[in-house]
Amino acid sequence: MDPDKDNANPTILNPSDLPSRRRESTVKKRERAGVGLFDDLIPDHSYLNDPFDQPLSLSDSDNDSVSEDIDEQEIYDLISSISDPEHPLSLGSLAVVNLPDIHILPPSSPKSPVSTVVVEITPTITHCSLATVIGLGVRVRLEQALPPRFRVDVRIKKGTHSTDEAVNKQLGDKERVAAALENGTLMGVIRKMLSTCQ
């Protein structure tokens, strides 16, 4: 995304307008608390009940086989705070990643435990030169954060980039992605992008 081209001033969404499950927990915490200056310091738990006094329903060996459900909102929360490589804003604020463009596909066969997370990104301009880098950043973030039972598929949303087919071919080629991630300069850019993730 070259700021000197068509879109030096992209549309910027207010962070409070972005969908987030994290904000909901903060709102509930504030609703429960008073209106004082130190409300954020009130813990989310109560010591009236000893948390270690609860009976365990599963043994430690059973915990390994229980998998927590992950939904589209959780995927969005993982990637929306990634920093854009050229603008000092997040991909969520620039609407590069959007909740309706995230899909979790069930396993392709009943015997396979592997689900696929599909993320379609929307570059801020149709000739964005860093679309591939943004896609790689999203892919790296999800591969680092998600359990191995998820396959990650990041692509450019159809019709939002002048070379979306070529970029999607690059992002879908495992060998190209692996070679790109061995490039020290490129990994430095991606690390900087991911430094804003929560």
Tell me which residue range forms the domain holding 76.
Answer: 70-194
Q: Is residue 156 part of a domain?
A: yes
For residue 47, being part of any structural domain is answered with no
Closest CA to 10 of 141, 100, 155, 122: 122
65 domain residue, yes or no: no
Task: List, in order, residues 6 or more apart from 181 with CB less than 8 Å away.
Answer: 136, 140, 187, 190
- Asked whether residue 112 is domain-assigned, the answer is yes
β partners of residue 154? 119
In a domain, 157, yes or no: yes
Side-chain-side CA neighbours of residue 163 (13 Å) = 11
Q: How many domains is the chain built from? A: 1
Q: Is 124 domain-assigned?
A: yes
- The answer as to whether 79 is a domain residue is yes
Structure tokens at 161: 């980039």
Q: Which two tokens stand for residue 65?
A: 């086989």
Classify residue 151: in a domain, yes or no.
Answer: yes
pLDDT (tens, 9 = 90+) of the chain, 198 residues, equals 444 445 556 777 777 777 777 655 444 444 444 555 555 554 454 444 444 444 444 444 444 445 568 899 999 999 999 999 988 899 999 999 999 999 999 998 888 889 999 999 999 999 999 999 999 999 999 999 999 999 999 999 999 999 999 999 999 999 999 999 899 999 999 999 999 986
| Domain containing residue 161: CATH number | 3.30.300.130
Q: What is the pTM of this model?
A: 0.70
Provide CB contacts within 8 A for 78, sequence distance 6+: 141, 142, 145, 146, 197
* Residue 90, amino acid: S
In order of 3, 168, 177, 182, the CA distances from 187 in angstroms are 22, 19, 11, 7
